[in-house]
Amino acid sequence: MSANTEKPFKVSIPDEDIELLHKKLELARFPDELEEAGWLYGAPLADVKRLVARWKDGFDWRQSEAQINALPQFTRDIEVEGFGTLNIHYVHQRSDVEDAVPLLFIHGWPGHFLEVRKLLPLLTKSSPDHPSFHVVTFSLPGFGFSEAPQKKGFAGKQYAEVANALMNSLGYKEYVVQGGDWGHYIAGYLATHYAHVNVKGWLTNYPVALPPRLRSAPWLYLTHLFTPYTKQVKDGMARTDDFLRRGRGYAVEQSTKPQTLGYSLADSPVGLLGWMYEKLVSWADEYPWEDDEVLEWVSIYWFSRAGPGASLRIYHEMTNCFERSAVAGVKWTSVPLGCAYFAKEHGMVPRSWLGTLGRLIFESTHERGGHFAAHEQPEALAEDVRKMFGRGGPAYGVVTGKSGYV
């Protein structure tokens, strides 16, 4: 890794790329649809047609681009063992509080770096009443405006290596982590490989883990065996079971044949829109998506550096066609762990399972919110971060010399 490769970055999509998008939208062919199909078969035809018409004739990418470029964005070369150098895109928003706590936010799929946008003013705000944070987020390799790896096998350890190297290069030798979806898993790998030396605590909003085993975690195993499930856990596990039966098909395809699916998503903006819009709506908790909000979200993938197909490969590399759990390589450490439970998150396991990931010291429950917590319920998630790492919180003072207060 080179320490002097940081460059300011602005999103600047060539005019010809925007024109090509509009031509493809103009030539789009739509499938038919059964009567009264609703959402049962996937994204409704009327919704997709409306969004396509707006994308083609009304949505102003240049306006979105200007708003995105108001964020402090950079790129930097990161050396990854066995994979060479990758040019990584990131956002680095410092607080006015010098002793703010360094925090790394990690997105997942179908998310991207802009998921942090609503959190930035909340977490970087200075106040004598709550801690402030220096916030970093990055486009995962193969997502957004980061370079994609060109070799097979880029998985949890490598994503964690990129994340840790980035934070170290910014001068943050110690930091805390927040993430959901793939951000949950990568945070777990960060805690596994960089516990205490670098990673001082992590807060997840995606409560997924493997069940405890008698040999490796006897107390957790017995606790799980003899502790009745609460209504919250029962409801959450029912949602998870329903998702695994009726909503997991996308993940099976992306984990087994991502290249095949990639041809469609790279060539057809309508296909990409339908593929992602379904998840944005069905995984959220009745979030009132505006059309331009959806189109900006999907456009990040359409205009991404490596193309939308590259983002799919994380499913294959992290699970080997689901022959193993994405969390299988995460090992227990005593690094403080917190979990925020949002009501309509489709991933949920009993508390005893989460204890296999780390020293679970903080939990919160929210009546609203789904898979995209940072976007749907930013105030609630920011408050959880403050409570966990602020004065009186169980992880206060974990980063040496960084209280977060004025």
Q: Which two tokens stand for residue 267?
A: 């060539």
User: Helix (H, G, I), strand (E, B), or coil: what is residue 150?
Assistant: coil
Vertex 51: Cα angle to 298 and 70 (nearest 5): 45
- Measured between alpha carbons, how far apart are the two ends of the chain, in Å? 33
Q: What residues pair up with 92 in beta bridges, in sequence order?
A: 136
Please give the C-alpha separations between residue 362 and each of 342, 355, 385, 388, 389, in angstroms, as whole numbers. 14, 11, 10, 6, 10
Identified catalytic residue from 315, 341, 396, 405: 315
Which residues lie closer than 8 Å to 24 by C-beta, 6 or more apart?
267, 268, 269, 270
Strands 101-106 and 7-8: unpaired
Identified catalytic residue from 47, 77, 181, 285: 181
Active site residue 371: yes
Q: Which two tokens stand for residue 272?
A: 């990409």
Q: Which two tokens stand for residue 175?
A: 């930091």
Residues 79 and 166 sit within 8 Å (Cβ to Cβ): no
User: Helix (H, G, I), strand (E, B), or coil: what is residue 24?
Assistant: helix
Active site residue 315: yes
**H helix intervals, 58-196:** 61-68, 120-124, 156-169, 182-194
Nearest to 195 by CA among 71, 310, 337: 337
Element (H, E) at 73: strand 73-80
Please tell me the distance from the alpha carbon of residue 375 to that of residue 385, in angstroms, as a whole number: 15
Please give the C-alpha separations between residue 50 and each of 43, 59, 376, 391, in angstroms, as whole numbers. 12, 12, 23, 48
Please tell me the distance from the alpha carbon of residue 32 to that of residue 236, in angstroms, as a whole number: 35
Identified catalytic residue from 371, 375, 384, 405: 371
| Phi, psi dihedrals of residue 286, rounded to the nearest 5° | 50, 35
Active site residue 384: no
Q: Which residues are catalytic?
A: 181, 315, 371
